[in-house]
Amino acid sequence: MRVAIGSDHAGFYMKEEIKGFLSKMGVEFSDFGCHSPESVDYPDIGRQVAKSVAEGEYDRGILICGTGIGMSMVANKVRGVRAALCQDEFSARASRQHNNANVLALGARVIGPGLACSIVEVFLRTDFEGGRHARRVGKIEAIEGEE
């Protein structure tokens, strides 16, 4: 499991917490920035992380901004990315089991670091269920083909 992680300034401290958690889990990751709490534009980092997942360089992506909304919008513009904005473990589990989400978006101004780490753990440990869900994910991909 290789993870690409990135944040804007609003998500910087949460990113650092999650990196520590990933290390404890023994998960390999690359940090796409930002590298300080100085203001940056979330689309710049979100795009890079999303592309690296879409191109198969990484298995999953984790993106953090203030709400998670901007990062999820950016990531979902990249073909092949299915980004899920999650604020609870139930949604994180379902995003993997039902939607085969490959990018997790988190809002550092919405949830605390403890919950964020639990969500990350569920997101990384849960498998896609396939079956009827594969048909539905296929329909998402078909929409990408129309664009």
DSSP one-letter code for 5: E
Element (H, E) at 53: helix 42-54
First to last CA, the chain: 30
Catalytic entry in 34, 35, 86, 98: 98
CB of 105 to ligand RB5, least distance (A): 9
Confirm or reject binding of residue 8 to ligand RB5 (CB under 6 A). yes
Burial of 105 (0-12, 13-18, 19+ CB in 10 A): buried
Q: Segment near ligand RB5 (CB under 6 A), from 45-53, 63-71, 85-93, 130-138?
A: 63-71
Confirm or reject binding of residue 66 to ligand RB5 (CB under 6 A). yes
Chain positions contacting ligand RB5, by CB under 6 A:
8, 10, 42, 65-67, 69-70
